[in-house]
């Protein structure tokens, strides 16, 4: 297969970026999207055309959340429930024009080319996205039974990989699905209920501070989430937030 690639190139955070066009040929339809970029980079290096295109990737099996490209108007490309590394070239047509852009959000500054800094997500988690435990001194694992459907819902919310596709897809660059998933995961479990009010307050405050937008109920996040995390989690986040306004918590 052959493609015309339009790739965002930007040397570093301060540089002004631009699109560069590359032609690429002889790509197998079984090739993954990132392997196609590997092939391009190989050529850029061998023929001394340019510095290879930088893009984040690691596990290449859809779980680490490292990769994330905005491909032809969709985060992670034109398929549902996948990360960029799980996108295969058979999803494209021979001769296609492919536009590849980095995630765009104030909270995700560009590092180089298609690599962005997502440490904002870590900061939100550090603000309270955990259950405060220290090692040891915890009760037996089976001492608190958890209804299966609750555990399953918590699991679905917890499957977030922190890739940032929700922010990239949202017209407001909102992180509500990411925050909603973590708040839901922990609020659904008895262990997480104790700090629930405090947690949601701190995480939302941090989210606002970092410059993410508001949710305006477009649900592009849900459509693009590689782990198919549902918008019900945003609803639960809102519910938790309202409850926290009336509930008692450590800081008030």
Total residues binding another protein (CB under 8 A): 126
**CA dihedral over 193, 235, 225, 147, signed as positive or negative:** positive
Binds another protein by CB under 8 A, chosen from 174, 177, 197, 198: 174
**Subset of residues 13 to 72 that bind another protein, contact rule: CB under 8 A:** 19, 28, 30-32, 34-35, 38-39, 41-42, 45-46, 51-52, 54, 56-66, 70, 72
Half-sphere exposure of 188 (CA within 13 A, CB side): 23
Q: With binding defined as CB under 8 A, does residue 93 bind another protein?
A: no
Binds another protein by CB under 8 A, chosen from 1, 24, 239, 249: 239
Q: With binding defined as CB under 8 A, does residue 119 bind another protein?
A: yes
Element containing residue 24 per DSSP (H, E): strand 18-24
Half-sphere exposure of 27 (CA within 13 A, CB side): 29
Q: With binding defined as CB under 8 A, does residue 105 bind another protein?
A: yes
Closest distance to another protein from the beta carbon of 57 (Å): 6
Closest C-alpha among 43, 35, 33, 42 to residue 98: 33
Binds another protein by CB under 8 A, chosen from 169, 196, 197, 229: 169
Closest distance to another protein from the beta carbon of 92 (Å): 14
Closest distance to another protein from the beta carbon of 50 (Å): 9
Angle subtended at Cα 83 by Cα 32 and Cα 114, rounded to the nearest 5 degrees: 80
Q: With binding defined as CB under 8 A, does residue 140 bind another protein?
A: yes
Q: What is the CA radius of gyration of the chain?
A: 20
**Subset of residues 61 to 80 that bind another protein, contact rule: CB under 8 A:** 61-66, 70, 72-75, 78-79
Whether 144 and 190 have beta carbons less than 8 Å apart is answered as yes
Q: Tokens 């050529």 map to which residue?
A: 43
Q: With binding defined as CB under 8 A, does residue 199 bind another protein?
A: no
């Amino acid at each position: 297969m052959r493609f015309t690639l339009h790739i965002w190139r930007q040397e570093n955070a301060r540089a002004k970026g631009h699109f560069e066009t590359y032609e690429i040929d002889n790509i197998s339809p079984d090739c993954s999207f990132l392997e196609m970029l590997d092939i391009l980079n190989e050529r850029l290096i061998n023929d001394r055309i340019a510095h290879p295109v930088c893009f984040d990737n690691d596990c290449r099996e859809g779980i680490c959340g490292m990769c994330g490209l905005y491909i032809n108007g969709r985060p992670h490309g034109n398929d549902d429930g996948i990360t960029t590394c799980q996108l295969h070239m058979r999803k494209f047509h021979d001769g296609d024009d492919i536009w590849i852009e980095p995630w765009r959000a104030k909270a995700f500054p560009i590092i180089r080319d298609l690599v962005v800094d997502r440490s904002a997500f870590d900061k939100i988690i550090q603000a309270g996205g955990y259950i405060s435990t220290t090692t040891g001194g915890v009760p037996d694992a089976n001492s608190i039974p958890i209804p299966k459907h609750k555990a399953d819902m918590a699991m679905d919310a917890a499957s977030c990989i922190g890739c940032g596709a929700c922010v990239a897809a949202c017209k407001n660059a909102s992180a509500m699905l990411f925050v909603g998933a973590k708040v839901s995961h922990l609020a659904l479990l008895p262990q997480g209920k104790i700090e629930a009010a405090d947690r949601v307050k701190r995480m939302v405050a941090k989210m606002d501070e970092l410059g993410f937008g508001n949710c305006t109920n477009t649900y592009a996040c849900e459509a693009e989430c590689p782990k198919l995390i549902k918008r019900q989690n945003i609803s639960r986040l809102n519910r938790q937030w309202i409850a926290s306004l009336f509930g008692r918590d450590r800081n008030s």
